[in-house]
Amino acid sequence: MEKREEKKSKNKKLEEQLFYKKESTWCDYSEKETHEVMTFAEDYKKFIGASKTERLCSANIIAILEKAGFKNMEKMKSLKSGDRGFRVIKNKTVTAFIAGEKTESFRVIGSHIDSPRLDLKPNPLYQSSDIALLQSHYYGGIKKYHWVNTPLELHGIAFTKSGSEVEIHIGVEHDEPKFIIPDLLPHLAKEQMKKDGTKLIEGEDLNIICGHIPVCDKEIKEKIKLNVLKYLNDSYGLIEEDFICAELEFVPAQKPVDIGFDRGIVGAYGQDDRVCVYSSLRAITSVKNPVHTAVAFFCDKEETGSWGNTGAESFALLHFTRDYLKLIGSTRSAFDVLEKSKAISADVTAAMDPTFQSVNDPLNVSYLGRGVSIEKYGGGGGKYNTNDAHAEYMQYMRGLADKNRVPWQTGELGKIDIGGGGTIAMLMSRYGMDCVDAGPCVLGMHSVCEVTSKSDIHSAYLLYRAFFND
C-alpha cells in the first residue's frame, strides 16, 4: 500500500510537470489584483460605451492620447527617444507611437475600431402603412435576426448642399428617442419560422422605423415622410438629397453592463474589436521609455475585408513608417524597418460556448477567464486567409507572457471544417515582420451584446504592455 501511494505521488508530480493545463485565473488573484481587474473593466466600459462607431472611437482614442502627452505628428519637426505622437487618417484610422531607444525598430500592435452595424442606404427614406422608415444596409457579418425588435441609436455625419458638415447623435441618453426594426409577430410567422436562419430576416427587411406623425395637409401625399424631413431640416439643415453625402450608422441603444451575480463579465456591443483597442491604448499610454519604438495601429474596415484607405489593406502603416523615419532623420527604407519589427494582431477569438460546445474542439478553444488567447493562426478550413506564426515567434510570445506573469491560453476559432475567421495579422505580416494573433475570447461575437471576461481583458492589457516594454 505504501509503495502504491509513493508511485501515485511520483506520477502526479510527473503529470503536473508534463501536462498542458490552463485553469481560471480568478483563483490566482490576490485581493489587490482582483481590484485592479475590476477597476480596469469599469474604465473600459466607459470607453466602449462612448465609442460605438469608428469616428467616435477614433475621437476618443485621440482624446486619451492627447491627455497622455501624445502630439499630432503633423505638427512635429523632429523626433527623439521618448517623444510621443500620433497620425490620423480620415478621422478614423489612428497610429500612435512612442520613439524608443532603438528608434529604427518597432513593436507594433494592430487592432480594428469598426464593428458590425447597420448603415443607411444612399436614398433610404420612405413611407408605408402610416410609418416612416429608413432602409439600411448591414455592415460586416451579422445574424440579421439579432437586429429586429432591438432599440437602436443613430450616429454619424452628413453634409448639406452648401457643404456644411453636421454631426448627428440621437438615442444616446435615456430620454432621447430610439429607433427600431419590427419583426413579424409569432401568430403570423408560421411560414417565416420554416426558413433557415440566414433568411428569417432578409437584408431588405432591415427597415428602421423613424417616424409616425404626419403633417396635416391634404395636398401632401407622403405626409409622414415630409414631417421627418422637416425635423431633419429644422434640426440639422438637411434635405433628402443629403443622405447621399452622409455616413449614418445605427447601433444598439444599450450601455455596457456587468453580467452575472459576481460581476465578472462585461456585456456590451462592439467588443470585437474595441476591447483590444482599449487594452492596447491603455498599454501604450502606460509605457515610459521603450527600448524599441512602440506603435499602436488602430485601423478601420476589418469587418468588411480591411479594404479602403483606412483599412489594414491600405499602406497606412507603411506611410506612417515613412513619415516617422523622416522625423528621426533616418535614410533607411520603411520596408526595412517593418521587416525587422515584431507585431501582434490584437483581435478577439471565440470562447467555448457552454450551450453550443459541438462547434469547437474542446482541446483547442479558448475559455472565458483563462487569460488572453495567443493563437498561432486563424482563418478557416485549410488555414485560408490567415497568418501562421512561426514556432520561433510563438516561443517568443510564450516566454514574454511567462516572464511577465501574464495569464494566457491558446485556441482556435471553431472546428476545422465548420468555420473560422480572419484578422489583420496576414496584412501586417506581409511587410516581413513576425506577427501573431492575441486577444480576449468572446461569447456572442458579432451580436448586439457580446460577452467577455474582465480577467481576460486585463490579461490582454498586461500582455500588450509587456510587449511594448520588451
pLDDT digits (tens, 9 = 90+) for 120-134: 999 999 999 999 999
- Contact assessment for residue 275 and residue 265, using Cβ atoms and an 8 Å cutoff: no
Say how far apart CA 326 and CA 85 lie, in whole Å. Answer: 14
What is the reported pLDDT for 9? Answer: 82
Provide the pLDDT confidence category of residue 2 given band limits of 50, 70 and 90.
very low
Residue spans per domain, the chain: 17-115+269-469, 117-252
235 is written with which cell numbers?
A: 434640426
Tell me the CATH class for 117-252. Answer: mainly beta
What are 227-244's pLDDT values in tens digits?
Answer: 999 999 999 999 999 999
The answer to whether residue 1 scores a pLDDT higher than 70 is no
Say how far apart CA 65 and CA 210 lie, in whole Å. Answer: 36
* Whole-structure pTM value: 0.94
The answer to whether residue 311 scores a pLDDT higher than 80 is yes
* Mean pLDDT along residues 328-340: 94
296, 289, 307, 305: which is closest to 343 by C-alpha?
296
Say how far apart CA 298 and CA 281 lie, in whole Å. Answer: 9
Query: Locate cell 501511494: which residue?
Result: 5
What is the reported pLDDT for 21? Answer: 87
For residue 200, CA distances in Å to 149, 169, 209, 254, 418 come to: 14, 30, 19, 24, 21
Say how far apart CA 46 and CA 102 lie, in whole Å. Answer: 35
What are 184-202's pLDDT values in tens digits?
Answer: 999 999 999 999 999 999 9
Where does 17-115+269-469 sit in CATH, by number? 3.40.630.10
Segments in 203-360 forming alpha helices (H): 223-236, 271-286, 316-328, 334-339
